[in-house]
Amino acid sequence: MAPPSATLRRQLASLLVVRGSGHGRDSQRRYPRWELPNAELRRLLEQGVGGVILLGGSAEELRLRCEQLRRWAGQPLLLCADVEEGVGQRFEGASWLVPPLALGRLHGTEPGRAEQLAERYGRCTGRQARLLGLNWVLGPVCDVNNNPANPVINVRAWGDTVPAAAALAAAFVRGCQAEGVLACAKHFPGHGDTSTDSHLALPLIPHGRQRLEAVELPPFQAAIAAGVASVMTAHLQLPALDADYPATLSEPVLTGLLRRQLGFTGLVVTDALVMEAISAAYGPAEAAELAFQAGADLILMPADAEAALDGLQRAVEAGRISPERLQASLERRQRALAQGPGQASDMPLGTLLTQLEQLVSPQERQLGAELLALSLEHSGAAPLPPGPGVNLIRLDSQLNSPQLPARAPALLRPAAAGYQARLLDGHSPSPWSGDPQAPLALERLGEGPVLLQLLVRGNPFRGSAGGDEPWPAVLHQLLAAGRLAGLAVYGSPYLWQSLRPLLPPQLPAAYSPGQMPEAQALVLQRLGLEANALEGGFTD
Amino acid sequence: MAPPSATLRRQLASLLVVRGSGHGRDSQRRYPRWELPNAELRRLLEQGVGGVILLGGSAEELRLRCEQLRRWAGQPLLLCADVEEGVGQRFEGASWLVPPLALGRLHGTEPGRAEQLAERYGRCTGRQARLLGLNWVLGPVCDVNNNPANPVINVRAWGDTVPAAAALAAAFVRGCQAEGVLACAKHFPGHGDTSTDSHLALPLIPHGRQRLEAVELPPFQAAIAAGVASVMTAHLQLPALDADYPATLSEPVLTGLLRRQLGFTGLVVTDALVMEAISAAYGPAEAAELAFQAGADLILMPADAEAALDGLQRAVEAGRISPERLQASLERRQRALAQGPGQASDMPLGTLLTQLEQLVSPQERQLGAELLALSLEHSGAAPLPPGPGVNLIRLDSQLNSPQLPARAPALLRPAAAGYQARLLDGHSPSPWSGDPQAPLALERLGEGPVLLQLLVRGNPFRGSAGGDEPWPAVLHQLLAAGRLAGLAVYGSPYLWQSLRPLLPPQLPAAYSPGQMPEAQALVLQRLGLEANALEGGFTD
């Protein structure tokens, strides 16, 4: 028997996870298209919506925001964030660690050390998430990044080999959940081998079950064996498993493969249903119903929360979703909530301030430094030639860039050496000459030697970051003109690997998988640019 | 008799105001050169330093930060900020109002309405400051901006005429202090008539006492008559009053003119002693001692707090500063503190969250909208021609620009009309052709009509903002090419006044003294670009 309508709607609402800003005010939302305004968010929480995925804001703001959302809801909530690279990746002031793939690389030579570091990585992320009010970390990425052209997984993966991805994802789960915070293995059944971005279109994975069992599934199996509390679905077409539906909406994938074959008993959550891969083909009610019928417990970021609720309610009332099936999802959610801190707490302000002051522990600071040091690569001999020169920085966007605050070492250290910053992003006047042999219009940039700093992630030559920009030709051009002073690459190992062989052996060059100011400090140190008092330091 | 040394040092420390970040962590400081790291800030507060000037952070962060600083100090503090244009000018999420000069202009035609609005402006600033933990607003600017080439006062002034500046500054004081928050009349004896920026060098004001009494002093007298709690000194050379020392260090100015002639009995605070106008000529100990001897009660941002304390202590112990003089300053500080909220409060988190949710009242939101509407100027006929086109935006810096968050109307509305953003700042590849008749290298910017948006404050042709850029020639160039789609100016009325006569009457053009997203929305509305769902709205 289905419960009465009002109760049913409240139960279904608890299985929705909507998106909000970590900032307190509507005007501060970074992505207003997706982040609900406060009035709507509050109304949905009062109606029983059971989870919120948060983005944006500082550690302090997030701490207050989580408290506010729990008060609005009046019940325990699942509060989560995509903090795959430490809580500081999304919330300023917490630890922002180098991307997981750095440890995947280390695993090839020092598997034990890599696993131990991945577990500390998970502990750091879980502990800081808990202190700030989150009880659910949307990581680890369990995809094997075996396709360097992958525009969306890339350095987010824990490995480009199966053993690394499996061992390190499991280690992250152990660490995170030891702190009482739920982890989430994603994106099931494996998003590594695609060059399509599912934010834009539905990628197709042509592999059959045998290949999946050899490559894609082992990291998920390892995470499940480590007790991972949740698994997130992928928006991928896998014709060998389901001819009709993408994985997120596929019963053979979610119930057949994940629940029955892999024996997963925890929470299954969809990836964001608002993504084009789903929303271009399915309405919000249809997508929610199909996902739930396929085996998902939680519906993440429906394109329209009310419509998704309507769809689910109609499906239960019409018997297309059984009361038992609904009950099972509700119970899984309750079990998960019982594992983590979910209640609003009326702690005194003094206690809260002390907690915030202790947000980053000395051990976590040390972990961040160790990860940076082990993943640094460099060649050539410092220092750079003396300025005046040009500090040419390529980045995705200068607007509100967490990589490039005004005090970033990438700006301040070259400035102190006489190199004037020229920043290129998608909004810049063109720096290109139109000549493929000498693509940079150097006269638009300034005189003297050029320090080239590339902040590029994703695939540099086919993905979005870096676009089709001719960096190899630029290196040749600058070398031919005798104007290449040094090279710094932050982010993509594939870009670094493609450029490094083009450099003369003595030319100062360095790479870090991290793009944060601490990574810049370390890379530029290698290029002979010392710390600058204006940076303000990284300790507290 | 001087008190014993430890007591004396603690007393002197209470008269120092040092600078800290509104953010919680050292790594988040925007100006690490000036903002003390937490360890030093805490140590100084524990030693009795009595005030902090704060910059940076959101409303939520500032609220927690003020609480933290008071706990570190263990005594009531003076916590202040340069929130001349509303608390939101410095702390995201609070009200950010159009600059005062907008009301100065209104005062010429509607003095009563302008005064009433200035008082509400002061109330809004005072109330939000108090809710967030500040008890001292470093405003109003009492300088008469009678020199359009002034690079540092400009739109911050309440008037470019004496009656406007006097009446409106006094109204701001009444409003702010009615909320229990101290105001501060600055920069005594008047910083309006200079084209030198005292952050960089020491400006000279050649006027004698008679002229000062006619132009510079009346706004200060009006503020004093309104009961202003504090006056800030200017780093200006006034040879007619003091042949030796700048105003900040001048006994004839601070004691003779301000205390005796004008009868001011409140707190006298120096402008930041770290500014080049002072620090280039005087050491930190010398500057602090001279300022105190001249008549200042509080020493703001000494270049070195310990050295300033050493200097003051030596001066008292050697009898160059009398115990009575010290006692008088301590008593003035105590009296000021008694007027405002100065204690740490262990309120429950729920109360704090409710306060923060109610930070911007409906009346304050309405005030912001009214100020924007009355200061808008426009000409021509909307709409812009259809794109594809170029949205050329000039701003000081794209890095962490509060004017231009990723969701700014200045970006989103033209994008929706097919205009691609090209952003120019000091770090851009050059957009200039070198041809004075056609200065823009249009081929670097893109095809189609050009919407020109200039976010410029300070003096556009000689000051720093906008530099020597040839905007009149650019308008001629675009008009001659048939490519000028529209003009938006944000900030400087002088730039708008110089460009407006060059426009054909039908060309869509608009101006706001504000640069914030709300100002962009209003200006672009006039140019025919409607609200965009991606902006996220301005209500909460």
Chain A residue whose CA is closest to B395: A399
Which of A35, A64, A445 lies closest to B60 in CB terms? A64
Closest CA–CA distance from residue A231 to any residue of chain B (Å): 31
Residue partners of A493: CB distance under 8 A and separation at least 6: A101, A105, A155, A511, A513
Does residue B539 surpass a pLDDT of 80? no
Q: What's the CA gap between B224 and B204, in Å, rounded?
A: 25
pLDDT at residue B149, as a whole number: 75
Judge whether A28 is closer than 8 Å to chain B, CB to CB.
Answer: yes
Does residue A69 surpass a pLDDT of 50? yes
Question: Which residues of A are the active-site residues?
Answer: 199, 271
SS (H, E, C) B133-160: CCCEECCCECCCCCCCCCCCCHHHCCCC
Q: Please provide the average confidence, as pLDDT, over all residues in chain A.
A: 93
pLDDT at residue A14, as a whole number: 98
**Tokens of residue A280, six digits:** 């271009």
Q: What's the CA gap between A432 and A14, in Å, rounded?
A: 52
Q: pLDDT tens for residues A419-464? A: 999 999 999 999 999 999 999 999 999 999 999 999 998 744 434 4
The strand pairing partners of B452, in sequence order, are B392, B487
Which of A401, A534, A540 lies closest to B33 in CB terms? A534
Q: pLDDT tens for residues A174-220? A: 999 999 999 999 999 998 888 777 777 788 888 899 999 999 999 99
With the CA atoms of A275, A280, A284 and A289 taken in that order, what torsion angle do they form, in degrees rounded to the nearest 10? -90
Does residue B198 surpass a pLDDT of 60? yes
pLDDT at residue B374, as a whole number: 97
Answer yes or no: do A24 and B60 touch at CB < 8 A: yes
Are A478 and A452 in contact by the 8 Å Cβ rule? The answer is: yes
pLDDT at residue A342, as a whole number: 64
Q: What's the CA gap between B387 and B415, in Å, rounded?
A: 9
How far are the Cα atoms of A399, B391, B421 from residue A427, in angstroms, in the given order?
10, 10, 6
Q: Which of A428, A367, A442, A376 is nearest to A398 (CA)?
A: A428
Interface test with A, best of B27, B395, B532 (most A CBs within 10 A): B27
Judge whether B332 is closer than 8 Å to chain A, CB to CB.
Answer: no
Confidence grade of residue B237 (pLDDT, cut at 50, 70, 90)? very high
**How many other C-beta atoms are found inside a 10 Å radius of the C-beta of residue A371?**
28
* B23 chain-A contacts, CB cut-off 8 A: 58, 92-93
SS (H, E, C) A89-140: HCCECECCCCCCHHHHHHHCCCHHHHHHHHHHHHHHHHHHHHHHCCCEECCC
Q: pLDDT tens for residues B437-487? A: 999 999 999 999 999 999 998 743 434 444 578 999 999 999 999 999 999
Answer yes or no: do A400 and B397 touch at CB < 8 A: no
Query: What are the start-end ranges of the E strands in B184-280?
Result: 184-188, 230-233, 267-269
Does residue B92 surpass a pLDDT of 80? yes
How many residues are given for chain B? 540
Residue A452: its H or E element: strand A450-456
SS (H, E, C) A249-292: HCHHHHHHHHHHHCCCCCEEECCCCCCHHHHCCCCHHHHHHHHH
Judge whether B313 is closer than 8 Å to chain A, CB to CB.
Answer: no
pLDDT at residue B404, as a whole number: 92
Closest CA–CA distance from residue A288 to any residue of chain B (Å): 24
Q: What's the CA gap between B138 and B448, in Å, rounded?
A: 46
Judge whether A400 is closer than 8 Å to chain B, CB to CB.
Answer: yes
pLDDT at residue B459, as a whole number: 46
Judge whether A536 is closer than 8 Å to chain B, CB to CB.
Answer: yes
Q: Which of B165, B112, B95 is nearest to B362 (CA)?
A: B95
Are B15 and B298 in contact by the 8 Å Cβ rule? The answer is: yes
Question: Would the ipTM clear 0.95, i.e. be above it?
Answer: no
With the CA atoms of B424, B428, B429 and B432 taken in that order, what torsion angle do they form, in degrees rounded to the nearest 10? 40
* A421 chain-B contacts, CB cut-off 8 A: 427
Which of B26, B350, B536 lies closest to A536 in CB terms? B26
Chain B residue whose CA is closest to A42: B540
Mean per-residue pLDDT for A104-113? 97
SS3 B413: helix
Amino acid letter, B436: P
Judge whether B23 is closer than 8 Å to chain A, CB to CB.
Answer: yes
The 10 Å CB-count burial string (b at 16+, else e) for A314-344 is ebbeeeebeeebbeebbebbeebbebbbbeb
The 10 Å CB-count burial string (b at 16+, else e) for B228-262 is bbbbbbbbbbbeebbeebbbbbbbbbbbbbbbeeb
Amino acid letter, B81: A
Does residue B344 surpass a pLDDT of 70? no
Q: What's the CA gap between B504 and B493, in Å, rounded?
A: 19
Mean per-residue pLDDT for A246-260? 97
Confidence grade of residue B540 (pLDDT, cut at 50, 70, 90)? low
* B28 chain-A contacts, CB cut-off 8 A: 58, 92-93
Answer yes or no: do A407 and B357 touch at CB < 8 A: no
Residue B53: its H or E element: strand B51-55
**Residue bearing the bigger pLDDT, B439 or B32:** B439
Q: What's the CA gap between A158 and A138, in Å, rounded?
A: 14
User: What sign does the CA torsion over B115, B117, B120, B125 have?
Assistant: negative
Closest CA–CA distance from residue A394 to any residue of chain B (Å): 11
* A453 chain-B contacts, CB cut-off 8 A: none
Percent of chain B surpassing pLDDT 90: 81
pLDDT at residue A475, as a whole number: 97
> Which 92-111 residues of chain B touch chain A by CB within 8 A?
92-93
Dihedrals φ, ψ of B183, to 5°?
Answer: -105, 175
User: What sign does the CA torsion over B99, B101, B102, B103 have?
Assistant: positive
With the CA atoms of B279, B285, B287 and B291 taken in that order, what torsion angle do they form, in degrees rounded to the nearest 10? 150
Chain A residue whose CA is closest to B94: A25
Does residue B537 surpass a pLDDT of 70? no
pLDDT at residue A316, as a whole number: 97
Q: What's the CA gap between B100 and B85, in Å, rounded?
A: 7
Q: Which of A460, A517, A452, A456 is nearest to A488 (CA)?
A: A452
Mean per-residue pLDDT for B10-22? 97
The strand pairing partners of A390, in sequence order, are A420, A450
Dihedrals φ, ψ of A435, to 5°?
Answer: -95, 115
Does residue B248 surpass a pLDDT of 90? yes
Are B144 and B194 in contact by the 8 Å Cβ rule? The answer is: no
User: What sign does the CA torsion over A84, A90, A91, A96 have?
Assistant: positive
Q: Could you say which DSSP state residue B464 is in?
A: S
Judge whether B67 is closer than 8 Å to chain A, CB to CB.
Answer: yes
Mean per-residue pLDDT for B99-127? 97
Closest CA–CA distance from residue B467 to any residue of chain A (Å): 17
Helical spans, DSSP H, in A318-470: 323-339, 349-357, 362-375, 409-416
Dihedrals φ, ψ of B368, to 5°?
Answer: -60, -45
pLDDT at residue B463, as a whole number: 42
Answer yes or no: do B32 and A533 touch at CB < 8 A: yes
Q: What's the CA gap between B10 and A244, in Å, rounded?
A: 77
Rounded to whole angstroms, the maximal C-alpha distance in chain B is 79
Does residue A511 surpass a pLDDT of 50? yes
Which of B24, B411, B430 lies closest to A444 in CB terms? B430
**Tokens of residue B207, six digits:** 């006027």
* A407 chain-B contacts, CB cut-off 8 A: 29-32
Does residue B523 surpass a pLDDT of 90? yes
How far are the Cα atoms of A45, A291, B74, B240, B243 from residue A273, in angstroms, in the given order?
19, 9, 51, 73, 73
Answer yes or no: do A534 and B32 touch at CB < 8 A: yes
Amino acid letter, B307: A
Q: Which of B237, B520, B424 is nearest to A428 (CA)?
A: B424
Q: What's the CA gap between B396 and B217, in Å, rounded?
A: 33
Answer yes or no: do A58 and B347 touch at CB < 8 A: no
Q: What's the CA gap between B330 and B343, in Å, rounded?
A: 18
Q: Which of B386, B457, B443, B446 is nearest to B420 (CA)?
A: B446
pLDDT at residue A306, as a whole number: 96
* B346 chain-A contacts, CB cut-off 8 A: 348-350
Dihedrals φ, ψ of B335, to 5°?
Answer: -60, -40
Q: pLDDT tens for residues B140-152? A: 999 998 887 777 7
Confidence grade of residue B199 (pLDDT, cut at 50, 70, 90)? confident
Candidates B82, B143, B193, B271; catalytic one: B271
Q: What's the CA gap between A231 and A210, in Å, rounded?
A: 21
Q: What's the CA gap between B87 and B4, in Å, rounded?
A: 41
Q: pLDDT tens for residues A306-360? A: 999 999 999 999 999 999 999 999 999 999 999 877 666 778 888 899 999 999 9
Q: Omega of the bond prior to A378 within 30 degrees of 0, cis? A: no
Give the A:B interface size as CB pairs under 8 Å.
199
Does residue A257 surpass a pLDDT of 60? yes
pLDDT at residue A460, as a whole number: 40
Answer yes or no: do B429 and A422 touch at CB < 8 A: yes
Does residue A277 surpass a pLDDT of 90? no
Interface test with A, best of B398, B404, B518, B535 (most A CBs within 10 A): B398
SS3 A186: strand
Q: What's the CA gap between A238 and A491, in Å, rounded?
A: 30
SS3 A530: coil
Percent of chain A surpassing pLDDT 70: 96
